[in-house]
Amino acid sequence: MEVALSAISGEILSRLISFVIKKHTDRSCVEDKLERLQHLLLRLHTVVEEAEGRYITNSKMLLQLRMLVDGMHEGYHVLSTIRFKPVEEDTSSHSQVTQPPALSSPLKRTRAAASSFRTAITSNHELQASLKKLETIVANMTEFVILLGGCKQMHRRPYDTYIYIDNFMFSRLVEKQELINALLQDDSPVGAPAVVPVTGAYRAGKKSLVGYVCNDNMVRSHFSSVLHLKSNSFLKVSRKMFMPVRTLVVVEFISDVGDSEWVKFYSDASPQMGAGSKVVIVSRFQEIARFGTVKPVVLRSLSQAEFSYLFKALAFGGTDPENHPQLSSIAMELAMNVNGLLLVANTLADLLRKNQSVRFWFHMLKRFRQSVERNFSRFGEHPKQLVERDHPTDITMLVQPSSAVLRLMPPHGDARLCMEQLPKVKFADLVQGSATVQPDEEFQITMWESRLPPFTKFVASCVAEEHPCTSSDNKRHKSCKQ
């Protein structure tokens, strides 16, 4: 009997030692892979940052640059997913409450262990795939780096340094280069300016991109005059506004335009401008591209990996996310909830950057979770899909507690399109609680104001409806009085 017990004990001890060694080995292997991934990302990021400060005119180099940028964002996303644990519920306010015994049952522990095991396997596969992809990209970028050294450097001014972080929000390195190249081509004769369409996803940063390019030093020095026009007024523009010099005209269309209207504008404006003039037309409607005379610049929607990286860059500012793992985890989930809404992301990141406390960030995360759930419950879609379809969106849960139900109506492109004498409120002020609205009130809400010339304001109308519960209470109160 003693011999049998000794043999069993020895077998159990042997298996336990083997398990501990294997677990330690696997963990060491993962750490080695993460270190290798971080090293590859550093090399890749160095090249991408250098490319951002160069004028790249080679179209094939731009294709390779897109691969470098996409690979960099995917790599950072995998690195963050593995390093930073999912956000746990804030238990600080529930410290006095004891959990029931059922929560610590063997069945629940088994399920949790199984879920953790599946997550670990998935993460390991993603890590291995990301490593393989980045190793291939880095191994094949030697020619790109050599050719990049021959590209002209961009002149950076102090103002450019100031907006460097905001430049991450659209991070359109390839699209920026494509647009600059199209504008600097001096091949348009007098009376026939080239037309460059800029189209893409809804609220993808088209106007921000055009504003940044128009502020580029070479573009500014290339054109003697720059005009910004709106679709509701471009036909009313006097010919006297155009001068016989090299002119850049930017026209924003918020809806489709008839062929006859475009022909009238182009035929009236073209003879008044000098050789080498360009017309940039900006719209989310792909049909507008039919007016173009060169290949359109198309802005695709940001991938989740790219948006997550850019959101963290905006939210942390100059702070290193590596030193704040809890904030990094919250930022990742916030990016998932915001789901590519750039205007909301700009406002939210600005608030987070000013108050980098775990409690505040987690509070904002809970509000965004509730907002997404509320819109799914009421409309069956994520707020992003609702906004893209010009459908009213419920933003009640994003603002400080109030008795009003807030509905964001389809937005307008600029404050000048909203001529009604309505109260004006900033979205950031509503979120912070520094501004309030009354039930049954309609007001203008400034979602975001660009920091780039011409400093476009993104304005929408918002309706504050009386909360159903409050309305019912008022009716009962009135009936009691009667």
CA–CA separation, 278 and 223 (whole Å)? 9
- Among candidate residues 428, 416, 422, 414, the one with its CA nearest the CA of residue 459: 414
- Paired sense of beta strands 152-153 and 54-55, if any: antiparallel
pLDDT at 173: 87
Cα–chain center distance at 279: 27
DSSP β-bridge partners for residue 282: 198, 252
Q: What are phi and psi of 297, to 5 degrees?
A: -95, 115
> Token digits for 90?
């804030």
- Among candidate residues 374, 359, 356, 304, the one with its CA nearest the CA of residue 333: 304
> Token digits for 195?
């037309």
Strand order in the sheet with 404-408: 393-394, 404-408, 457-466, 441-449, 424-426
Q: Are 67 and 174 in contact (CB under 8 A)?
A: no
Q: How many CA atoms lie within 13 A of 110 on its CB side?
A: 3
- Among candidate residues 227, 285, 229, the one with its CA nearest the CA of residue 254: 285
What CATH number has the domain spanning 172-299? 3.40.50.300
Amino acid identity of residue 470, one-letter, is: T
CA–CA separation, 200 and 182 (whole Å)? 17
pLDDT at 351: 92
Is residue 21 within a helix (H) or strand (E), and if so which, with residue range? Answer: helix 2-52
pTM: 0.76
> Token digits for 53?
């400060």
pLDDT at 63: 95
Positive or negative torsion for Cα 137, 139, 143, 145: positive
Burial 353-381 (b: 16+ CB within 10 A, else e): eeeeeeeebbebbebbbebbebbeeebeb
The Cβ of residue 89 has, within 10 Å, a number of other Cβ atoms equal to 9
Q: What is the pLDDT along the chain (482 residues), one digit of tens a residue?
A: 565 656 666 666 566 555 555 554 555 688 889 999 999 999 999 999 999 889 999 999 999 999 999 999 999 999 988 887 666 554 444 333 334 444 445 444 444 444 444 555 567 888 999 999 999 999 999 999 999 999 999 876 544 444 444 544 456 889 999 999 999 987 778 888 999 999 988 878 888 889 889 988 899 999 999 998 887 777 777 777 888 899 999 999 988 888 999 999 999 889 989 999 999 999 988 899 999 999 999 998 888 999 999 899 889 988 888 889 999 999 999 999 998 888 888 889 989 999 999 999 999 999 999 999 999 999 999 998 888 888 888 988 888 666 578 888 765 544 444 445 677 888 888 888 777 776 667 777 888 777 666 666 777 777 777 655 544 444 444 443 44
3-class DSSP state of 407: strand
Q: Are 425 and 435 in contact (CB under 8 A)?
A: yes
pLDDT at 121: 59
Please give the C-alpha separations between residue 18 and each of 22, 25, 281, in angstroms, as whole numbers. Answer: 6, 10, 66
- Among candidate residues 192, 186, 183, 194, the one with its CA nearest the CA of residue 267: 192
3-class DSSP state of 463: strand
Cβ neighbors of 268 (< 8 A, separation 6 or more) are: 239
Summary count for the chain: helices (H), strands (E)? 17, 12
The Cβ of residue 409 has, within 10 Å, a number of other Cβ atoms equal to 15
- Paired sense of beta strands 393-394 and 297-299, if any: unpaired
Burial 92-105 (b: 16+ CB within 10 A, else e): eeeeeeeeeeeeee
Torsion angle in degrees (nearest 10) through CA of 362, 365, 366, 367: 130
3-class DSSP state of 172: coil
Parse the chain into domains and list their residue ranges: 2-88+106-153, 158-171+308-374, 172-299, 399-482
